[in-house]
Amino acid sequence: MVLGASASRELGSGFRGQVIWPEDGGYDAARAVFNGMIDRQPLAVVRPVDASDVARCIEFARRHDLLISVRGGGHSVAGHAVRDGAIMLDLSGMKAVQVEPETRTVRAQPGLTLGEFDRATQALGLATPLGVVSVTGIAGLTLGGGLGWLNGCYGLACDNLISADVVTADGQLLKASTHQNKDLFWGIRGGGGNFGVVTSFEYQLHPVDVVLAGALSYPLRAAPQVLRFYDDFVKAAPDELSTAVSLALTPTREPAMFIVVCYCGPTDKGEQVLHPLRTFQSPVDDSIQPMPYAALQSARDEGFPSGRLHYWKSGWLGDLNDGAIEALMEFVPHLPSSASGVGLQQMHGVASRIAPSATSFPRRAEQYDFLILSQWSDATDSDRNIEWTRALFQAMQPHLEESVYVNNLGDEGPERVKAAYGQNYQRLVALKRTLDPDNLFRANHNIDPSQI
């Protein structure tokens, strides 16, 4: 679609942020997102500075019948932050963060990365649960759920939201909380960007300073025994312990398994809790030690540079049963890319006990977020990597729940979105019909208002 000169002027006038058109320098950098598979040409990249700029863009998009896509940190693997021919609402410049130590709360704008957010709160020895790679954006992560190292003790990122400022499809700025616009508040805690554009998040903070964290490494051949022990051990562990497993190739291409842990209570208690896991079978390496929480949060960043080609498949896994372990043992040695990995991020403790209907994030249980995270650099390797990923996913499917964590989804069709929301899907559709009946916000894992 081509906009006339007067429409272009209209978008620019009164708008305090930046508008980048295809002919402008910086357009290619501005439209790029984390996943290098995504190469889309938006009509314009629009960088608002505040909520009134956001409202102006939404009104403009409605008036000209334009699709609008929203970018926070740009890390959605599906690449929903950018769409061909759309207005790309890029919030990455909105990075204000204000910590209130007395109330242990923080107000944060949606352009912040996890690392930027953690830096502000860690200066006061505080944190809220986010994800495990610090270059990810807080906005998309929180709106889809947000599973990380503090989930056992304090829940998901969305469970720690106190309120949010949301510009809805009709251009209104609403406060959503347990007191105001309660349905909207329910919807944005899991329902992604379906209900509006969040211009400010308010989170509960918790005292988190030094944690006992690090990895146990094993050759893959030890995995069957270790994983069976691990499965029983972590499910019975106290809430303070959150863990993840990763299966990958070492730099010398040896298949290996890593158990990563974070104990966020007193270190001496953590040493006792972790003793059986650390001694059950001698790991090749044990790097578990007290460390600043912020150091743990950025420990994995190097493995996820922007611009690599990504293809992911995922599902919730209840138990590490024999069949699942066999499938992993068969496929992991043949990983086509040494940058890829298979992850099992544990949902535990508080995050697992919250009622499935309390927020729109439905899947609450002691379980693992099973994720085949394939990444590579050379486009000629794409077919090989995608085929391997699909084959492993197929082998794992009998062991996985139908449900999937929405933030891991690629463009996998409406049935997978429905499966992600499970029992909360109908309520989400009803809310979408009220707040966005024309489906303006559809560049996302879409709750389609026309669905029954």
Ligand X SMILES: Cc1cc2nc3c(=O)[nH]c(=O)nc-3n(C[C@H](O)[C@H](O)[C@H](O)COP(=O)(O)OP(=O)(O)OC[C@H]3O[C@@H](n4cnc5c(N)ncnc54)[C@H](O)[C@@H]3O)c2cc1C
Residues near ligand X, by CB under 6 A:
34, 70-77, 80-81, 91, 110, 131-133, 136-137, 139-141, 143-148, 192-193, 197-198, 304, 407, 444
* In the complex, residue closest to ligand X by CB: 140
**In the numeric block, which tokens belong to residue 31?**
């439209």
Least distance CB 427 / ligand X (angstroms): 19
Of 56, 54, 77, 57, nearest in space to 67 by CA: 57
CB-nearer residue toward ligand X: 298 or 321: 298
CB-nearer residue toward ligand X: 82 or 237: 82
Least distance CB 408 / ligand X (angstroms): 6
Residues in the chain: 452
CB-nearer residue toward ligand X: 139 or 325: 139
Least distance CB 323 / ligand X (angstroms): 26
Question: Whole-angstrom Cα distance, residue 297 to residue 288?
Answer: 14
DSSP letter for each residue of 252-269: T--EEEEEEEEE-S-HHH
CB-nearer residue toward ligand X: 224 or 303: 303
Least distance CB 407 / ligand X (angstroms): 4
CB-nearer residue toward ligand X: 85 or 323: 85
Q: The dihedral of CA 66, 70, 74, 79: what is its sign?
A: negative
CB-nearer residue toward ligand X: 111 or 270: 111
**In the numeric block, which tokens belong to residue 401?**
């729940």
- Asked if residues 409 and 78 have their Cβ atoms less than 8 Å apart, the reply is yes
Least distance CB 136 / ligand X (angstroms): 5
Residue 425 Ramachandran class (φ > 0 left, ψ -120 to 50 alpha, else beta): alpha
**In the numeric block, which tokens belong to residue 359?**
């927020």
CB-nearer residue toward ligand X: 321 or 382: 382
Least distance CB 222 / ligand X (angstroms): 25
**In the numeric block, which tokens belong to residue 434?**
């009220």
Least distance CB 386 / ligand X (angstroms): 17
Backbone dihedral angles phi then psi of residue 420, each to the nearest 5 degrees: -65, -35
Amino acid at residue number 299: A
Of 299, 344, 266, 241, nearest in space to 118 by CA: 299
Contacts of 303 (CB under 8 A, 6+ apart): 133, 339, 341
